[in-house]
Amino acid sequence: MIIYDLETIRPVAPKNPADRIPGIEYAEGWHDLAGMGIACAVIYCYASNRYFRYQIEPVQGHGDWYLVRKKIVWHAQYDNHSIVVGFNSNAFDDQLLNKAESDPVLYRPSWDLLQHIWAGAGLGPNYNKETHSGFSLDAVARANGLTGKTGTGEQAPVLWQRGQHLQVLEHCEQDVRILKGLIDIVLAFGELADPRDPSQKLKIAAPALENLRAAHKAALAYRKRH
């Protein structure tokens, strides 16, 4: 099983043009995935118990997604095609990856913790402002005794364009560490505290760890080599 998160190069343009930050490039809406681009990715691999940071490097003949796409495919293969996990990944991260080139990276959607939390709360898989608010990664983390986020996804593209790449990578890794902490709770207890009322528990169907024996062998083989 691997966990991943992405940060974009360009933020979504604010509705009011006067709110644009001088010198910052923008995507023209949430539909403009090509305009957003991918700045960096952080991947946690259960087989090796390590975090991996990747940032975009130009590759001739390919878009700025190419390196990140290759690395996610490699990790998924290394971890025996078990499960790729994200947070709001079905609606955003998966789409951003698969928009890159003609062949999709993820031939099936990632296991999206946010959608499973919504399901535990009796909600459908599609966001509705009236019913699905209050389930941010930061809110879920704090409700479950974990450290909250260190920044926002809206800030990250601005920082990236200003050359503060290390800060963005650290922010992205912190999100993945939070997500891993939540997944570990789900694997251990099958539930999470409801961020709207932490005294209440939401039942979460844990990811089925496919090829568990093969993944264990891969982990042992990796540790022998490193």
The 3-state secondary structure of 101-136, one letter per residue: CCCCCCCCCCEEHHHHHHHHCCCCCCCCCCCCCCCC
Lowest mean pLDDT among 22-31, 107-116, 188-197: 107-116
| pLDDT confidence band for 163 (50 / 70 / 90) | very high
Q: How far is CA 180 from the centre of its chain?
A: 11
Tell me the pLDDT of the chain averaged across its residues: 81
pLDDT at 197 over 70: yes
Give the C-alpha separation, 194 to 31, whole Å: 30
Give the C-alpha separation, 153 to 93, whole Å: 12
Tell me what pLDDT residue 222 has.
Answer: 42
- Residue-wise pLDDT for 50-66, tens only, equals 898 887 765 555 555 55
Q: Could you tell me what percent of the chain has a pLDDT over 70?
A: 75
Tell me what pLDDT residue 223 has.
Answer: 43
Tell me what pLDDT residue 37 has.
Answer: 85
Tally the domains of the chain. Answer: 1
Write the CATH number for 141: 3.30.420.10
Contacts of 56 (CB under 8 A, 6+ apart): 9, 37, 38, 39, 40, 64, 67, 68
Residue 39 tokens read as 């700045």
Sign of torsion, CA 34 25 51 175? negative
Contacts of 49 (CB under 8 A, 6+ apart): 219
Nearest 5 degrees, angle CA 211-CA 100-CA 36?
Answer: 115
Tell me what pLDDT residue 74 has.
Answer: 60
Mean pLDDT of 8-25: 93
The reported pTM is: 0.83
Lowest mean pLDDT among 37-41, 68-72, 100-104, 163-167: 100-104
Among candidate residues 219, 201, 222, the one with its CA nearest the CA of residue 209 = 219
Among candidate residues 166, 148, 147, the one with its CA nearest the CA of residue 156 = 166
pLDDT at 75 over 70: no
pLDDT at 134 over 70: yes
* Gap between the terminal Cα atoms of the chain: 20
Tell me what pLDDT residue 94 has.
Answer: 84
- What is the extent of the structural domain holding 155? 2-225
